[in-house]
């Protein structure tokens, strides 16, 4: 799932300072699970913005899916049209999909962080940064891009101590985990291979389309 965190309310208020009528839109999928953009958080946000005229609130099923958002917007279009701005509690994809469909002024209420694994509700771990060139086969299924703070392709660095990361001594060094895993599965030869610098062009290409669909 896509992990998001709430922006500070002061930042949101500053972004909304020129907008009187506000619609608050939440996400019923990832942001609801992350407890950043579900029913409760939308209600809470409406209370925090008591100085504004809240013309409507809604939690749509999946704002990052254009087809589903289009369907869900039909029920709220009147209130949405009355708003000067829409405060969106979803990841950046949901926000941009709303802009594509409505052209409304949008204010992000959340920061989009990473693709994460859910351990428990409210407890998530960064596991993928969508780098466009997955090397999990070379690292025993443990991602160094998202789990090593330096994103090293060849590790560990000299800073690891007692199997912990130098950046955060509470966390396991990703490359020590990778080493142990590769040893367990008999692939230390692969571990020792030098991995060349990444080709960042493939992960920064604008307008990237995956699959054969067109807009
Ligand atoms: S290498 Fe890591 S960041 Fe890249 S796609 Fe695979 S899991 Fe995601
Ligand atoms: S100690 Fe390990 S996880 Fe931390 S930055 Fe160095 S290689 Fe990466």
- Domains of the chain, by residue range, sit at 2-113, 131-197
- On the CB side of 39, how many CA atoms lie within 13 Å of its CA? 1
Please write the tens of the pLDDT for every residue from 131-140: 989 999 999 9
Q: Closest Cα partner for 64 from 112, 127, 13?
A: 112
- The structure's pTM equals 0.85
Mean pLDDT of the chain, nearest integer: 93
The ligand 2 atom nearest the CA atom of 158: 6
- Does residue 93 contact residue 68 with C-beta atoms inside 8 Å? no
DSSP 136: G
Q: Is the distance from the beta carbon of residue 131 to the nearest atom of ligand 2 less than 6 Å?
A: no
CATH of domain 2-113: 3.40.50.2300
Distance 47 CA to ligand 1 centre (A): 39
Strand partners, 204: none
Q: What is the pLDDT of residues 43-62, one digit of tens each?
A: 999 999 999 999 999 999 99
């Amino acid at each position: 799932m896509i992990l998001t965190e709430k922006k500070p309310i002061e930042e949101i208020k500053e972004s909304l300072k020129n907008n009187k009528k506000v619609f608050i839109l939440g996400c019923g999928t990832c942001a609801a699970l992350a407890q950043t953009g579900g029913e409760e958080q939308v209600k809470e946000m409406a209370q925090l913005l008591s100085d504004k005229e809240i013309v409507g609130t809604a939690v749509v099923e999946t704002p990052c899916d254009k087809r589903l958002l289009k369907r869900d917007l039909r029920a709220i279009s009147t209130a949405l049209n009355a708003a000067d701005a829409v405060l969106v509690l979803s990841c950046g994809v949901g926000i941009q999909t709303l802009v594509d469909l409505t052209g409304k002024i949008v204010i992000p209420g959340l920061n989009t962080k990473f693709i994460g694994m859910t351990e428990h509700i409210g407890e998530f771990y960064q596991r993928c940064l969508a780098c466009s060139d997955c090397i999990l086969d070379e690292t025993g299924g443990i991602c160094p891009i998202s789990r090593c703070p330096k994103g090293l392709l060849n590790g560990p660095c000299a800073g690891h101590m007692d199997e912990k990361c130098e950046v955060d001594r509470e966390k396991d060094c990703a490359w020590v985990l990778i080493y142990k895993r590769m040893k367990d599965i008999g692939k230390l030869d692969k571990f020792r291979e030098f991995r060349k610098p990444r080709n960042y062009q493939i992960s920064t290409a604008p307008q990237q389309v995956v699959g054969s669909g067109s807009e």
